[in-house]
Amino acid sequence: MKTFVVMAILWKVLCRDRLGLGLYVILPIAFLTMFGLAFGGIGAGNDIRIKIGVLDLDHSPQSKALIKAVQENSERMELEQIKGDDKSKALLSVRSGDYPGAVLVPKGFGESLLSKAGPLALELYYDSSNPIAPELAQGKLLEGASRGLAPALVVRRLDDLKEMAGPLTQRQEALRTMLTKASESGQPLQTGNPAASAGVIPIEAISSSSNRQDRSLVTYYTGAIGMMFLMFSASTICGSLLEERENGLTARLSALGIGPWQMILGRFYFASAIGISQFLIMLGWAALIFHVHFFELAQVIQLLMLVPLAAGAAAGLGLIVSVPCSTRRQQATVSTIIVLLLSALGGSMVPSFMLPQYMQDAGAFVFNWWAIQAFQQVLWYSSPGESIGSAIARIDMALVILTATALFGLVFARAIFRSRT
Protein backbone atom coordinates (compact mmCIF):
# COMPACT_ATOMS: atom_id res chain seq x y z
CA MET A 1 0.00 0.00 0.00
CA LYS A 2 2.78 2.39 0.93
CA THR A 3 4.42 1.65 -2.41
CA PHE A 4 1.30 2.85 -4.21
CA VAL A 5 1.32 6.02 -2.09
CA VAL A 6 4.89 6.74 -3.21
CA MET A 7 3.92 6.11 -6.81
CA ALA A 8 0.93 8.46 -6.48
CA ILE A 9 3.20 11.20 -5.12
CA LEU A 10 5.66 10.77 -7.99
CA TRP A 11 2.78 10.90 -10.46
CA LYS A 12 1.47 14.15 -9.00
CA VAL A 13 4.94 15.68 -9.14
CA LEU A 14 5.29 14.63 -12.76
CA CYS A 15 1.86 16.01 -13.66
CA ARG A 16 2.81 19.39 -12.22
CA ASP A 17 5.77 19.45 -14.59
CA ARG A 18 3.73 19.63 -17.79
CA LEU A 19 6.73 20.05 -20.05
CA GLY A 20 8.40 17.01 -18.52
CA LEU A 21 5.22 14.96 -18.90
CA GLY A 22 4.87 16.03 -22.53
CA LEU A 23 8.47 15.10 -23.26
CA TYR A 24 7.86 11.57 -22.04
CA VAL A 25 5.30 11.26 -24.84
CA ILE A 26 7.16 13.23 -27.48
CA LEU A 27 10.61 11.75 -26.91
CA PRO A 28 10.10 8.27 -28.44
CA ILE A 29 8.20 9.72 -31.41
CA ALA A 30 10.88 12.35 -31.98
CA PHE A 31 13.70 9.84 -31.92
CA LEU A 32 11.95 7.39 -34.20
CA THR A 33 11.28 10.20 -36.68
CA MET A 34 14.84 11.52 -36.45
CA PHE A 35 16.56 8.19 -37.04
CA GLY A 36 14.01 7.17 -39.64
CA LEU A 37 14.76 10.30 -41.67
CA ALA A 38 18.49 10.06 -41.08
CA PHE A 39 19.11 6.39 -41.71
CA GLY A 40 16.07 5.15 -43.58
CA GLY A 41 17.79 5.50 -46.94
CA ILE A 42 21.14 3.95 -46.05
CA GLY A 43 20.16 0.41 -46.96
CA ALA A 44 18.86 1.37 -50.38
CA GLY A 45 21.42 4.12 -50.82
CA ASN A 46 19.04 6.10 -53.00
CA ASP A 47 19.79 9.46 -51.45
CA ILE A 48 23.52 9.18 -50.79
CA ARG A 49 25.37 11.50 -53.15
CA ILE A 50 29.14 11.75 -53.36
CA LYS A 51 31.28 14.34 -55.13
CA ILE A 52 34.24 12.93 -57.06
CA GLY A 53 36.89 15.09 -58.71
CA VAL A 54 38.01 14.35 -62.27
CA LEU A 55 41.22 15.53 -63.92
CA ASP A 56 41.17 15.04 -67.69
CA LEU A 57 44.71 15.13 -69.10
CA ASP A 58 43.63 13.64 -72.44
CA HIS A 59 41.06 16.23 -73.58
CA SER A 60 39.97 13.86 -76.34
CA PRO A 61 36.43 13.25 -77.62
CA GLN A 62 36.56 9.86 -75.92
CA SER A 63 37.49 11.22 -72.49
CA LYS A 64 34.81 13.88 -72.77
CA ALA A 65 32.27 11.24 -73.79
CA LEU A 66 33.20 9.15 -70.74
CA ILE A 67 32.81 12.06 -68.34
CA LYS A 68 29.53 13.12 -69.94
CA ALA A 69 28.13 9.59 -69.75
CA VAL A 70 28.99 9.29 -66.05
CA GLN A 71 27.42 12.67 -65.26
CA GLU A 72 24.23 11.90 -67.17
CA ASN A 73 23.69 8.38 -65.85
CA SER A 74 24.53 8.72 -62.16
CA GLU A 75 22.21 10.26 -59.60
CA ARG A 76 24.44 9.25 -56.70
CA MET A 77 27.77 10.57 -57.91
CA GLU A 78 28.63 14.08 -59.07
CA LEU A 79 31.80 14.70 -61.06
CA GLU A 80 33.56 18.02 -60.60
CA GLN A 81 36.34 19.11 -62.94
CA ILE A 82 39.77 19.64 -61.39
CA LYS A 83 41.61 22.45 -63.12
CA GLY A 84 45.20 22.00 -64.23
CA ASP A 85 47.42 19.71 -66.28
CA ASP A 86 49.52 18.31 -63.44
CA LYS A 87 48.87 14.68 -62.53
CA SER A 88 49.58 15.36 -58.86
CA LYS A 89 46.59 17.69 -58.57
CA ALA A 90 44.21 14.72 -58.53
CA LEU A 91 46.07 13.11 -55.65
CA LEU A 92 46.42 16.38 -53.74
CA SER A 93 42.69 17.11 -54.04
CA VAL A 94 42.00 13.88 -52.13
CA ARG A 95 44.77 14.28 -49.57
CA SER A 96 43.55 17.77 -48.72
CA GLY A 97 39.99 16.54 -48.18
CA ASP A 98 38.45 18.37 -51.13
CA TYR A 99 37.05 15.10 -52.49
CA PRO A 100 36.78 11.57 -51.11
CA GLY A 101 37.97 10.35 -54.51
CA ALA A 102 39.42 11.71 -57.75
CA VAL A 103 39.62 10.18 -61.24
CA LEU A 104 42.61 10.81 -63.48
CA VAL A 105 42.11 10.31 -67.22
CA PRO A 106 45.68 9.85 -68.54
CA LYS A 107 46.98 11.51 -71.67
CA GLY A 108 46.55 9.23 -74.69
CA PHE A 109 43.52 7.48 -73.21
CA GLY A 110 41.34 8.06 -76.28
CA GLU A 111 43.91 6.73 -78.75
CA SER A 112 44.60 3.68 -76.60
CA LEU A 113 41.00 2.51 -76.85
CA LEU A 114 41.58 1.20 -80.39
CA SER A 115 45.25 0.25 -80.05
CA LYS A 116 46.43 -3.35 -79.90
CA ALA A 117 48.07 -2.73 -76.52
CA GLY A 118 44.70 -2.04 -75.00
CA PRO A 119 43.23 0.99 -73.22
CA LEU A 120 45.24 2.89 -70.65
CA ALA A 121 44.01 2.47 -67.10
CA LEU A 122 42.03 5.20 -65.40
CA GLU A 123 43.57 6.13 -62.06
CA LEU A 124 41.19 6.42 -59.12
CA TYR A 125 42.66 8.08 -56.04
CA TYR A 126 40.56 7.51 -52.95
CA ASP A 127 40.48 8.42 -49.29
CA SER A 128 40.41 5.24 -47.19
CA SER A 129 38.43 7.05 -44.47
CA ASN A 130 35.42 6.96 -46.83
CA PRO A 131 34.83 3.32 -47.87
CA ILE A 132 31.77 4.17 -49.98
CA ALA A 133 33.46 6.55 -52.44
CA PRO A 134 35.89 4.18 -54.25
CA GLU A 135 33.33 1.39 -54.68
CA LEU A 136 30.69 3.78 -56.00
CA ALA A 137 33.15 5.58 -58.27
CA GLN A 138 34.46 2.37 -59.85
CA GLY A 139 30.96 1.08 -60.52
CA LYS A 140 29.81 4.35 -62.09
CA LEU A 141 32.96 4.69 -64.18
CA LEU A 142 32.46 1.22 -65.64
CA GLU A 143 28.79 1.98 -66.26
CA GLY A 144 29.68 5.27 -67.92
CA ALA A 145 32.33 3.60 -70.05
CA SER A 146 29.83 1.01 -71.28
CA ARG A 147 27.67 3.87 -72.53
CA GLY A 148 29.97 6.70 -73.55
CA LEU A 149 32.79 4.52 -74.93
CA ALA A 150 30.57 1.82 -76.39
CA PRO A 151 31.69 2.26 -80.04
CA ALA A 152 35.37 1.80 -79.19
CA LEU A 153 34.63 -1.16 -76.92
CA VAL A 154 32.60 -2.92 -79.60
CA VAL A 155 35.36 -2.28 -82.16
CA ARG A 156 37.78 -4.00 -79.81
CA ARG A 157 35.42 -6.96 -79.60
CA LEU A 158 35.28 -7.16 -83.39
CA ASP A 159 39.08 -6.97 -83.62
CA ASP A 160 39.38 -9.80 -81.10
CA LEU A 161 36.90 -11.81 -83.16
CA LYS A 162 38.88 -11.12 -86.36
CA GLU A 163 42.11 -12.24 -84.75
CA MET A 164 40.59 -15.43 -83.39
CA ALA A 165 38.16 -16.45 -86.16
CA GLY A 166 39.59 -14.89 -89.31
CA PRO A 167 38.39 -12.08 -91.64
CA LEU A 168 35.13 -10.31 -90.86
CA THR A 169 32.16 -10.42 -93.18
CA GLN A 170 31.31 -7.42 -95.31
CA ARG A 171 28.53 -6.43 -92.93
CA GLN A 172 30.82 -6.76 -89.93
CA GLU A 173 33.49 -4.64 -91.61
CA ALA A 174 30.90 -1.96 -92.36
CA LEU A 175 29.83 -2.02 -88.72
CA ARG A 176 33.44 -1.72 -87.60
CA THR A 177 34.02 1.28 -89.89
CA MET A 178 30.91 3.02 -88.62
CA LEU A 179 31.82 2.38 -84.98
CA THR A 180 35.40 3.55 -85.51
CA LYS A 181 34.16 6.89 -86.83
CA ALA A 182 31.72 7.17 -83.92
CA SER A 183 34.51 6.46 -81.45
CA GLU A 184 36.83 9.05 -82.97
CA SER A 185 34.12 11.69 -82.72
CA GLY A 186 33.07 10.69 -79.23
CA GLN A 187 29.55 9.66 -80.22
CA PRO A 188 27.65 7.10 -78.10
CA LEU A 189 26.50 3.77 -79.47
CA GLN A 190 23.17 4.09 -81.26
CA THR A 191 21.48 1.01 -79.80
CA GLY A 192 18.98 0.35 -77.09
CA ASN A 193 20.82 -2.76 -75.91
CA PRO A 194 23.48 -1.90 -73.29
CA ALA A 195 24.87 -5.45 -73.54
CA ALA A 196 26.07 -4.62 -77.04
CA SER A 197 28.68 -2.34 -75.49
CA ALA A 198 30.21 -5.01 -73.28
CA GLY A 199 33.81 -4.19 -72.55
CA VAL A 200 36.25 -3.50 -69.76
CA ILE A 201 38.10 -0.28 -68.99
CA PRO A 202 40.93 -0.94 -66.51
CA ILE A 203 40.74 1.17 -63.34
CA GLU A 204 43.71 1.40 -60.99
CA ALA A 205 42.59 2.27 -57.45
CA ILE A 206 45.27 4.09 -55.45
CA SER A 207 44.93 5.04 -51.80
CA SER A 208 45.83 8.66 -51.13
CA SER A 209 47.04 7.72 -47.64
CA SER A 210 49.77 5.36 -48.79
CA ASN A 211 52.35 7.54 -47.07
CA ARG A 212 50.32 7.74 -43.87
CA GLN A 213 50.22 4.14 -42.73
CA ASP A 214 50.58 5.23 -39.10
CA ARG A 215 47.14 6.84 -39.17
CA SER A 216 44.09 4.91 -38.11
CA LEU A 217 40.45 5.35 -39.10
CA VAL A 218 39.85 6.05 -35.41
CA THR A 219 40.99 9.59 -36.19
CA TYR A 220 37.48 10.39 -37.44
CA TYR A 221 35.76 8.96 -34.39
CA THR A 222 38.17 10.69 -32.00
CA GLY A 223 36.67 14.04 -32.97
CA ALA A 224 33.13 12.73 -33.50
CA ILE A 225 32.73 10.90 -30.20
CA GLY A 226 34.72 13.58 -28.39
CA MET A 227 32.26 16.30 -29.42
CA MET A 228 29.28 14.24 -28.29
CA PHE A 229 30.76 13.73 -24.84
CA LEU A 230 31.72 17.40 -24.58
CA MET A 231 28.09 18.36 -25.15
CA PHE A 232 26.78 15.82 -22.65
CA SER A 233 29.21 16.83 -19.90
CA ALA A 234 28.66 20.56 -20.47
CA SER A 235 24.88 20.11 -20.29
CA THR A 236 25.21 18.23 -17.00
CA ILE A 237 27.48 20.86 -15.45
CA CYS A 238 25.35 23.79 -16.59
CA GLY A 239 22.22 22.03 -15.37
CA SER A 240 23.40 22.46 -11.79
CA LEU A 241 22.32 26.10 -12.11
CA LEU A 242 18.74 24.87 -11.85
CA GLU A 243 19.47 22.79 -8.76
CA GLU A 244 20.95 25.84 -7.05
CA ARG A 245 17.92 27.88 -7.99
CA GLU A 246 15.53 25.20 -6.69
CA ASN A 247 17.24 24.79 -3.31
CA GLY A 248 17.71 28.53 -2.75
CA LEU A 249 21.48 28.61 -3.16
CA THR A 250 21.21 31.17 -5.98
CA ALA A 251 19.48 33.64 -3.68
CA ARG A 252 22.10 33.14 -0.97
CA LEU A 253 24.93 33.66 -3.46
CA SER A 254 23.25 36.85 -4.67
CA ALA A 255 23.12 38.09 -1.08
CA LEU A 256 26.90 37.58 -0.89
CA GLY A 257 27.37 39.79 -3.95
CA ILE A 258 27.77 37.01 -6.53
CA GLY A 259 25.53 38.08 -9.38
CA PRO A 260 24.06 36.17 -12.33
CA TRP A 261 26.96 37.01 -14.62
CA GLN A 262 29.52 35.52 -12.21
CA MET A 263 27.38 32.40 -11.79
CA ILE A 264 27.13 31.94 -15.56
CA LEU A 265 30.83 32.58 -16.14
CA GLY A 266 31.70 30.14 -13.36
CA ARG A 267 29.70 27.37 -15.04
CA PHE A 268 31.03 28.27 -18.46
CA TYR A 269 34.69 28.20 -17.44
CA PHE A 270 34.27 25.04 -15.36
CA ALA A 271 32.44 23.20 -18.17
CA SER A 272 35.09 24.33 -20.66
CA ALA A 273 37.92 23.16 -18.38
CA ILE A 274 36.31 19.76 -17.88
CA GLY A 275 35.71 19.47 -21.63
CA ILE A 276 39.33 20.32 -22.44
CA SER A 277 40.53 17.72 -19.93
CA GLN A 278 38.21 15.08 -21.37
CA PHE A 279 39.35 15.71 -24.91
CA LEU A 280 43.04 15.68 -24.02
CA ILE A 281 42.57 12.36 -22.23
CA MET A 282 40.77 10.99 -25.30
CA LEU A 283 43.56 12.19 -27.60
CA GLY A 284 46.19 10.61 -25.39
CA TRP A 285 44.32 7.31 -25.32
CA ALA A 286 43.82 7.39 -29.10
CA ALA A 287 47.54 7.98 -29.62
CA LEU A 288 48.56 5.26 -27.16
CA ILE A 289 46.13 2.51 -28.16
CA PHE A 290 45.06 3.33 -31.74
CA HIS A 291 48.24 5.11 -32.93
CA VAL A 292 46.44 8.33 -33.88
CA HIS A 293 49.14 10.78 -34.96
CA PHE A 294 49.04 14.46 -33.99
CA PHE A 295 52.64 15.30 -33.11
CA GLU A 296 53.55 17.58 -36.00
CA LEU A 297 54.05 21.22 -34.98
CA ALA A 298 51.17 22.42 -37.16
CA GLN A 299 48.87 19.78 -35.68
CA VAL A 300 49.76 20.71 -32.11
CA ILE A 301 49.07 24.39 -32.77
CA GLN A 302 45.77 23.55 -34.47
CA LEU A 303 44.69 21.43 -31.50
CA LEU A 304 45.71 24.13 -29.01
CA MET A 305 43.28 26.44 -30.80
CA LEU A 306 40.56 23.94 -31.66
CA VAL A 307 40.12 21.97 -28.41
CA PRO A 308 39.45 24.99 -26.11
CA LEU A 309 37.05 26.54 -28.63
CA ALA A 310 35.21 23.23 -29.07
CA ALA A 311 34.88 22.88 -25.31
CA GLY A 312 33.72 26.50 -25.07
CA ALA A 313 31.10 25.98 -27.76
CA ALA A 314 29.82 22.87 -25.93
CA ALA A 315 29.64 24.92 -22.72
CA GLY A 316 27.71 27.61 -24.57
CA LEU A 317 25.25 24.97 -25.76
CA GLY A 318 24.92 23.74 -22.18
CA LEU A 319 23.93 27.25 -21.06
CA ILE A 320 21.49 27.68 -23.95
CA VAL A 321 19.77 24.41 -23.06
CA SER A 322 19.81 24.79 -19.27
CA VAL A 323 18.93 28.39 -18.44
CA PRO A 324 15.45 28.55 -20.07
CA CYS A 325 14.27 25.34 -18.33
CA SER A 326 12.18 25.54 -15.16
CA THR A 327 13.28 22.31 -13.45
CA ARG A 328 16.25 19.98 -13.46
CA ARG A 329 14.01 17.23 -14.85
CA GLN A 330 13.13 19.36 -17.85
CA GLN A 331 16.75 20.27 -18.43
CA ALA A 332 17.94 16.67 -18.35
CA THR A 333 15.33 15.55 -20.87
CA VAL A 334 15.67 18.53 -23.21
CA SER A 335 19.46 18.42 -23.16
CA THR A 336 19.46 14.71 -24.01
CA ILE A 337 17.20 15.29 -27.00
CA ILE A 338 19.19 18.24 -28.30
CA VAL A 339 22.58 16.60 -27.85
CA LEU A 340 21.48 13.42 -29.62
CA LEU A 341 19.89 15.43 -32.44
CA LEU A 342 23.04 17.47 -32.93
CA SER A 343 25.17 14.32 -32.73
CA ALA A 344 23.12 12.67 -35.46
CA LEU A 345 23.28 15.74 -37.70
CA GLY A 346 26.93 16.47 -36.99
CA GLY A 347 28.20 12.96 -37.69
CA SER A 348 29.01 11.66 -34.21
CA MET A 349 26.79 8.59 -34.51
CA VAL A 350 27.29 7.77 -38.19
CA PRO A 351 29.87 9.44 -40.50
CA SER A 352 28.19 12.25 -42.37
CA PHE A 353 29.11 10.86 -45.80
CA MET A 354 26.84 7.86 -45.10
CA LEU A 355 23.81 10.05 -44.48
CA PRO A 356 21.28 11.18 -47.10
CA GLN A 357 22.18 14.38 -48.89
CA TYR A 358 19.59 16.50 -47.10
CA MET A 359 21.02 15.36 -43.76
CA GLN A 360 24.51 16.30 -44.92
CA ASP A 361 23.25 19.74 -45.95
CA ALA A 362 21.50 20.19 -42.58
CA GLY A 363 24.68 19.22 -40.76
CA ALA A 364 26.43 22.37 -41.97
CA PHE A 365 24.06 24.40 -39.76
CA VAL A 366 25.21 22.86 -36.46
CA PHE A 367 28.46 23.82 -34.76
CA ASN A 368 29.57 20.28 -33.88
CA TRP A 369 29.61 19.34 -37.59
CA TRP A 370 32.20 22.04 -38.18
CA ALA A 371 34.16 20.88 -35.15
CA ILE A 372 34.20 17.26 -36.33
CA GLN A 373 35.30 18.28 -39.83
CA ALA A 374 38.05 20.44 -38.32
CA PHE A 375 39.33 17.59 -36.13
CA GLN A 376 39.40 15.37 -39.20
CA GLN A 377 41.43 18.00 -41.03
CA VAL A 378 43.92 18.10 -38.15
CA LEU A 379 44.21 14.38 -37.44
CA TRP A 380 43.75 12.84 -40.89
CA TYR A 381 44.36 15.30 -43.72
CA SER A 382 47.41 17.11 -42.36
CA SER A 383 50.70 16.48 -44.16
CA PRO A 384 54.22 16.33 -42.69
CA GLY A 385 56.00 19.64 -43.02
CA GLU A 386 52.80 21.63 -43.62
CA SER A 387 53.12 25.31 -42.79
CA ILE A 388 51.29 26.62 -39.76
CA GLY A 389 49.48 29.26 -41.81
CA SER A 390 48.04 26.82 -44.33
CA ALA A 391 47.10 24.39 -41.54
CA ILE A 392 45.11 27.04 -39.65
CA ALA A 393 43.52 28.26 -42.88
CA ARG A 394 41.95 24.81 -43.37
CA ILE A 395 40.04 25.09 -40.07
CA ASP A 396 39.52 28.85 -39.88
CA MET A 397 35.76 28.69 -40.54
CA ALA A 398 35.31 26.10 -37.82
CA LEU A 399 37.20 28.32 -35.35
CA VAL A 400 34.91 31.25 -36.17
CA ILE A 401 31.72 29.21 -35.77
CA LEU A 402 32.84 27.64 -32.48
CA THR A 403 33.75 31.06 -31.08
CA ALA A 404 30.40 32.50 -32.16
CA THR A 405 28.53 29.60 -30.53
CA ALA A 406 30.33 30.10 -27.22
CA LEU A 407 29.71 33.87 -27.20
CA PHE A 408 26.06 33.46 -28.15
CA GLY A 409 25.59 30.97 -25.33
CA LEU A 410 27.02 33.43 -22.80
CA VAL A 411 24.94 36.37 -24.02
CA PHE A 412 21.73 34.32 -24.23
CA ALA A 413 22.23 32.77 -20.79
CA ARG A 414 22.90 36.12 -19.14
CA ALA A 415 19.74 37.68 -20.59
CA ILE A 416 17.48 34.76 -19.56
CA PHE A 417 19.10 33.96 -16.22
CA ARG A 418 18.85 37.55 -14.99
CA SER A 419 15.09 37.58 -15.63
CA ARG A 420 14.64 34.20 -13.86
CA THR A 421 16.50 35.25 -10.71
- Residue 108 sits in a domain whose CATH number is 3.40.1710
Instruction: For residue 153, give the nearest of 127, 179, 135 by alpha carbon.
Output: 179
Residue after which a domain boundary falls, among 165, 192, 207: 207
Tell me: do 375 and 247 sit in the same domain.
Answer: yes
Query: Which of 22-36, 324-338, 386-400 tops mean pLDDT?
Result: 386-400
Tell me: do 181 and 223 sit in the same domain.
Answer: no
Residue after which a domain boundary falls, among 207, 222, 237: 207
Tell me: do 223 and 296 sit in the same domain.
Answer: yes
| Confidence (pLDDT) at 371 | 95
Residue after which a domain boundary falls, among 154, 182, 207: 207
**How many structural domains is the chain composed of?**
2
pLDDT band at residue 198 using 50, 70 and 90 as cut-offs? very low
Tell me: do 188 and 221 sit in the same domain.
Answer: no
Q: What is the pLDDT of residues 88-130, one digit of tens each?
A: 888 888 887 788 888 998 888 877 776 767 778 888 988 876 7
Residue 415's CB: how many other CB atoms inside 10 A?
A: 11
Pairwise pLDDT comparison (186 vs 173), residue with the higher score:
173
Residue 33, in any domain of the structure? no
Tell me: do 107 and 226 sit in the same domain.
Answer: no
Tell me: do 157 and 73 sit in the same domain.
Answer: yes
User: Which residues have C-beta within 8 Å of that of residue 263, sequence separation ≥ 6?
Assistant: 241, 244, 250, 253, 417
Quickly list DSSP for 88-134.
HHHHHHHHTTS-SEEEEE-TTHHHHTTSTT-PPPEEEEE-TT-SHHH
| Confidence (pLDDT) at 302 | 95
Q: Residue 376: pLDDT above 70? A: yes
| Confidence (pLDDT) at 194 | 40
Tell me: do 244 and 107 sit in the same domain.
Answer: no
Residue 39, in any domain of the structure? no
Instruction: For residue 65, give the nearest of 147, 123, 124, 7 by alpha carbon.
Output: 147
Q: What is the pLDDT of residues 222-247, one digit of tens each?
A: 888 889 989 998 998 888 887 777 67
pLDDT band at residue 196 using 50, 70 and 90 as cut-offs? very low
Tell me: do 171 and 219 sit in the same domain.
Answer: no
The CA distance from 238 to 266, in Å, is: 10
Residue 411, in any domain of the structure? yes
Estimate to the nearest angstrom the gap between the alpha carbon of 257 and the chain centroid. Answer: 47
Q: Residue 191: pLDDT above 70? A: no
Tell me: do 201 and 56 sit in the same domain.
Answer: yes
Tell me: do 295 and 177 sit in the same domain.
Answer: no
Q: Give the range of the structural domain holding residue 69, as residue numbers without chain letter.
A: 50-207
Tell me: do 348 and 305 sit in the same domain.
Answer: yes
Half-sphere exposure of 230 (CA within 13 A, CB side): 36
pTM exceeds 0.85, yes or no = no
Tell me: do 258 and 179 sit in the same domain.
Answer: no
Residue 183, in any domain of the structure? yes
The CA distance from 274 to 7, in Å, is: 37
Residue 43, in any domain of the structure? no
Asked if 344 contacts 35 with a C-beta cutoff of 8 angstroms, the reply is yes
